[in-house]
Amino acid sequence: MSADFSERRVKMVDGQIRTTDVTSAPLIEAMLTVPREAFVGAGQQDLAYIDEDIRISDGANGAARYLMEPSPLAKLLQLAEIDASDSVLDVGCGSGYSAALLSRLARSVVALESDPALAETARSTLSSLGCQNVTVITGPLPQGHAAKAPYNVIFIGGSVEEVPPSLLDQLAQDGRLVAVEGQGNSGVARLFFKAGGVVTGRRAFNAAIKPLPGFERAHAFEF
Tell me which of 183 and 117 has the higher pLDDT: 117
Taken in order of first residue, the domains within the chain and their CATH numbers are 5-206 (3.40.50.150)
Q: Name the band, by pLDDT with cuts 50, 70 and 90, for residue 60.
A: low
* Cα separation, 140 vs 150, whole angstroms: 18
Of the candidate ranges 48-52, 100-104, 182-186, the one whose mean pLDDT is the lowest = 182-186
Q: What are the pLDDT digits (tens) for 100-138?
A: 999 999 999 999 999 999 999 999 999 999 999 999 999
- Mean pLDDT, the chain, rounded, equals 94
In sequence order, what DSSP letters do the residues of 23-48 get, joined into one string?
A: --HHHHHHHHHS-GGGGS-GGGGGGT
Report the pLDDT averaged over residues 70-74: 98
User: Per-residue b/e over 77-114, b at no fewer than 16 CB within 10 Å?
Assistant: bbbbebeeebbbbbbbbbbbbbbbbbbbbbebbbbbbb
Q: What are the pLDDT digits (tens) for 205-223?
A: 999 999 999 897 765 445 4
